[in-house]
Amino acid sequence: MIKIVLLGAGNLGFHLTANLLNNKAIELVQVYNRSIEKIDYLKNKVEITDKLNELKKADIYILCVSDDTISEVSSKLNFPNSMVVHTSGGTSLNELKSNSKKGVLYFPQTFSKKRTIDFSNIPICIETENKEDLIILHQFSEEISKNIYFINSEQRQRLHLAAVFVNNFANIMYKIGNDICSNTNVPFDILKPLILETASKIGEISPYEAQTGPAKRNDTKTISKHKKLLHKNQKEIYTLLTDFIIQSYE
Amino acid sequence: MIKIVLLGAGNLGFHLTANLLNNKAIELVQVYNRSIEKIDYLKNKVEITDKLNELKKADIYILCVSDDTISEVSSKLNFPNSMVVHTSGGTSLNELKSNSKKGVLYFPQTFSKKRTIDFSNIPICIETENKEDLIILHQFSEEISKNIYFINSEQRQRLHLAAVFVNNFANIMYKIGNDICSNTNVPFDILKPLILETASKIGEISPYEAQTGPAKRNDTKTISKHKKLLHKNQKEIYTLLTDFIIQSYE
């Protein structure tokens, strides 16, 4: 059974802890967080600590800490025979400063404490410093998900950037849509099936093929009507994205 | 049984025709399109025509034609006791130039011929010139969908604008994500569960709450790393949206 110590109690740490506690092929031996209060809810299920020098022995130490503390936290882990992995999309494997084996376990997914997450459908992108260490990281990943990819630091950085577009930037489009609806007393719920269909569609056809709307048709009449309805910042975004779509389909 | 003549064979016309042909409470009496070849596939199922002066009698004439032909096509319909409706999000009811009763039937959804569509989950936004005509349009809509909203022309124009953000602009984010993946030989499939989760999430929490990522955290280190990886146009979009998110969460 693979022994795990998990460090961090942010959104990913929270969900991954819950998953590992229910995973029969994995032994979660300890959860660390710098503030113990945040993991107090776990104390009857697993050993908890807020002291890095009290960490137990494990096969893999999984850092679910913020990007800028990866170097510092990893430098305090002294387990030469174990593996230390971080879970950051935008951080190179080399930011790990421990004397342990090094790896990365990246889940390209958005985690919110309020949403339950089915890890079996979330892809896991793995990387290790030494090829031979891939075995255990792959073995661990297989217990969590069906979709495992070997992605190096360079690729992962770009994948993380692509994720910003499809997730963070798509979501801010939802927010602007919501704001426009609120201002005209139209329930945002009307747009939810459209949002789901837009996302589902690209399971079957490419985003290039899936594009529709006034910008794609270069429908200048509708575009200029729309611009008149928008606030300054919204209008700037509308104009830039419309021009980008027009150019993409020229 | 409500009698319908449907005009137009674009994406919406195509899917709505298929739905009405299978709808036992509605009699689709005729389909019109200015080029007969495009509706030839229907000839064994319903009467087809490419002549506006050969239209049959019906209760409702549904225009699924392009926005800029709504006035012209409707002006040729001379059925004072029937209703003529258009299906355009961005077009006012007043663009209808027939001497019939006037209405609008707007489906805020994205239609592609390659995707099958379940109309029962698509909201229908209806409007009529005269209040008493709402009854038949509502009755018709109920045979198609569970979710019917009364939306006037002013609201619909803004709803259509909001739809551009959540659909067309979200989709162009997917396209940029896809382009970034292709350029670094990472399968775009890795991001599909993230895309679906991003869209599903706002079924439960508001887009404002759902926002995550470097811009929301104002993580300037990651943001400047990302900017270095982008082409000119992509970088311009990244910068504008990142600044907009930072401002939204200040």
Give residue-wise pLDDT tens across range B109-160.
998 888 888 999 999 999 999 999 999 999 999 999 999 999 999 999 999 9
pLDDT at A125 over 90: yes
Residue A181: per-residue pLDDT: 97
Residue A113: per-residue pLDDT: 83
Mutate to test the interface with B, among A68, A88, A161, A228 (most CBs of B within 10 A): A161
Judged by CB atoms closer than 8 Å, whether chains meet at A171 and B68 is answered as: no
CB B89 within 8 A of CB B66: no
CA distances from B42 to B46, B60, B227 (A): 6, 20, 52
Task: At A116, list the tokens.
Answer: 């339950």
CB A28 within 8 A of CB A7: no
Residue A111: per-residue pLDDT: 87
CA distances from B32 to A95, B83, B169, B205, B212 (A): 65, 16, 32, 43, 48
Three-state secondary structure readout of chain A: CEEEEEECCCHHHHHHHHHHHCCCCEEEEEEECCCHHHHHHHCCCCEEECCHHHCCCCCEEEECCCHHHHHHHHHCCCCCCCEEEECCCCCCHHHCCCCCEEEEEECCCCCCCCCCCCHHHCCEEEEECCHHHHHHHHHHHHCCCCCEEECCHHHHHHHHHHHHHHHHHHHHHHHHHHHHHHHCCCCHHHHHHHHHHHHHHCCCCCHHHHCCCHHHHCCHHHHHHHHHCCCHHHHHHHHHHHHHHHHHCC
Residue B115: per-residue pLDDT: 84
Please, what sign has the CA dihedral across residues B188, B194, B197, B199? negative
What stretches in chain B show pLDDT beneath 50? Answer: none
pLDDT at A55 over 90: yes
Please, what sign has the CA dihedral across residues B200, B201, B204, B210? negative
Amino acid at B58: A
Strand order across the beta sheet in which B26-32 lies: B47-49, B26-32, B2-7, B60-63, B83-86, B101-106, B124-128, B148-150
Q: What integer best gives the mean pLDDT of chain A?
A: 96
Spatial distance between the Cα atoms of A5 and A23, rounded to a whole number of angstroms: 14
Residue B178: per-residue pLDDT: 98
Judged by CB atoms closer than 8 Å, whether chains meet at A112 and B230 is answered as: no
The complex's ipTM works out to 0.94
Distance between A57 CA and the closest CA of chain B, angstroms: 32
Residue B111: per-residue pLDDT: 87
Q: How many other C-beta atoms are found inside a 10 Å radius of the C-beta of residue A84?
A: 26
Residue A112: per-residue pLDDT: 83
Chain B residues whose CB is inside 8 A of the A173 CB are 165-166, 169-170, 173
Judged by CB atoms closer than 8 Å, whether chains meet at A67 and B238 is answered as: no
Pseudo-torsion of CA A183, A188, A190, A195, nearest 10°?
120
Spatial distance between the Cα atoms of A24 and A21, rounded to a whole number of angstroms: 8
Mutate to test the interface with B, among A152, A190, A249 (most CBs of B within 10 A): A190
Residue B160: per-residue pLDDT: 97
Residue B113: per-residue pLDDT: 83
CB B175 within 8 A of CB B168: no
Spatial distance between the Cα atoms of A182 and B158, rounded to a whole number of angstroms: 10
B20 DSSP assignment = H
Chain B residues whose CB is inside 8 A of the A175 CB are 206-208, 211, 248
To the nearest whole percent, how much of chain A has pLDDT over 70? 100
Q: Where are the alpha helices (DSSP H) in chain B?
A: 11-21, 70-75, 134-142, 153-163, 170-183, 192-201, 207-210, 214-217, 220-228, 232-248
Chain B residues whose CB is inside 8 A of the A245 CB are 168, 172
Residue A215: per-residue pLDDT: 97
Judged by CB atoms closer than 8 Å, whether chains meet at A184 and B209 is answered as: no
